[in-house]
Amino acid sequence: MQKLVIAGREFASRLFIGTGKFGSAAVMSQAIEECGSELVTVALRRVNLAAAPESDALISQLNPEKVVIVPNTSGARNAEEAVRIARLARAAGGFDWVKLELTPDPNYLLPDPIETMKAAEVLVQDGFVVMPYINADPVIARQLEDAGAAAVMPLGAPIGTNRGLTTKEMLQIIIDEIK
């Protein structure tokens, strides 16, 4: 299998994990350790911005020597909000990687491709390693690649539908065509 390299960093594991839905920070930490994930996304709204990163209950459970901590912009409804959230993450904890999430649809959390593109262009110019959450759309994936996104994170099915992988053919095109 081809090595996964994002922004010059090589990953042995292709499993990325989020910090939500765990009963406690300790359970989350144990799950991350045991699954071998090397990239962990964190919703900024779950982090105590008043505390130093090493004393935040959530962030302090993550070992930056073992995992890349990637704040996400979940909750952002437009490009302006997403850029503000990413910049707050950088100011609060020095995080330069960002999972760009713009989801104005509260039911299915479907990404907005137009606002995602706007935010990606600004964040790339700001020097962020940008990984946008997108629909399984090869056209927008190519445009984001051209804009400087480090990787795209296409959905496999609408979030929360428990339908499994419903976008397989479109994902294969993205895999085949996008670097």
- As annotated, the active-site residues are 99
Both structure tokens of 32: 């991350």
Total count of residues recorded for the chain: 179
Backbone angles phi, psi at 2, to 5 degrees: -65, 140
% helix / strand / coil in the chain, to the nearest 5? Answer: 40, 15, 45
**Pair of tokens at residue 169:** 């053919």
The span from the CA of 25 to the CA of 58, in Å, is: 6
Q: 50 exposed, middle or buried (CB, 10 Å; 0-12, 13-18, 19+)?
A: exposed
Strand-pair partners of 68: 39
The angle formed by the CA atoms of residues 6, 85 and 140, to the nearest 5 degrees, is 50
DSSP state of 78: S
Backbone angles phi, psi at 165, to 5 degrees: -80, 110
